[in-house]
Amino acid sequence: KNEVEQSPQNLTAQEGEFITINCSYSVGISALHWLQQHPGGGIVSLFMLSSGKKKHGRLIATINIQEKHSSLHITASHPRDSAVYICAGSMEYGNKLVFGAGTILRVKS
Amino acid sequence: KAGVTQTPRYLIKTRGQQVTLSCSPISGHRSVSWYQQTPGQGLQFLFEYFSETQRNKGNFPGRFSGRQFSNSRSEMNVSTLELGDSALYLCASSLGAGGGYNEQFFGPGTRLTVL
């Protein structure tokens, strides 16, 4: 069993739909990161959170420490949101990240 | 502020050769982490350097090594290349020492192909 698990692996949505990507972890982490990777490889950090909820534009990330679960929501999805979304946990010592397998999101117009 | 830069962006090598990849972190960042990304294994942690010291190492063979210089620039080296080393190698820099609360900023990656 992987230490960080994501679901779904693949997700296709129509433009405008509300999207949720889930992440569960089984290890002790200091913070949960949501990352976005576009074709070509570049990774952008979307959120880093250790409790509660964060919002940036149409993106919302939540974390439940007791349940070891986090969700990434995209409201009013747009084709430009098409990318791979990766959750990762950072360990208590250092800056090592442990990654989920990623969710491939395709938003159709 | 300039972002994280990695050179070269693309590399083609043959089995048995060695390769050195370079990463320049964001100015002022002292932590550099290296990751390998393959279609089969996804993203995996290689190692992390902070102030020229390796602090963490992932489960990779000794052929994978790295170092960090006094200006925080980092290099990783892979010796005796194998076909399975073909991957996207990403580095990420962070401002702080760790404890898990530091945002990481990723470079564009170096795509290594081993023939």
3-state secondary structure (DSSP) of residue B18: coil
In this predicted structure, the answer to whether residue B1 has a pLDDT above a threshold of 90 is no
Contact criterion met (CB < 8 Å) for B109 and A44: no
Judge whether residue B76 has pLDDT over 70: yes
Q: How close does chain A come to B80, measured CA to CA in Å?
A: 25
Q: Which of B45, B26, B38, B9 is nearest to B93 (CA)?
A: B26
| Chosen from B72, B102, B104 to mutate, greatest number of chain A CBs within 10 A | B104
Give just the sign of the alpha carbon dihedral A54, A55, A56, A58: positive
Q: Phi and psi (nearest 5°) for A80?
A: -70, -10
Structure confidence at residue A2 (pLDDT): 74
Rounded to 5 degrees, what are φ and ψ at A81?
-80, -10
pLDDT of residue B102: 82
pLDDT of A42 reads 87
Residue B98 pLDDT grade (very low, low, confident, very high; cuts 50, 70, 90): low
Tokens of B20: 């050195």
Cα separation of A99 and A52, whole Å?
Answer: 20
Q: How confident is the model at residue A1 (pLDDT cuts 50, 70, 90)?
A: low
What is the arithmetic mean of pLDDT over A60-88? 96
**Residue percentage of chain B with pLDDT more than 70:** 96
Per-residue pLDDT, A39: 85
From the list B90, B98, B99, which residue is nearest A43 (CB)?
Answer: B90
**Residue-wise pLDDT tens digits, B20-45:** 999 999 999 999 999 999 998 999 99
Q: Is the pLDDT of residue A45 over 70?
A: yes
- A29 contacts in B (CB within 8 Å)? 100
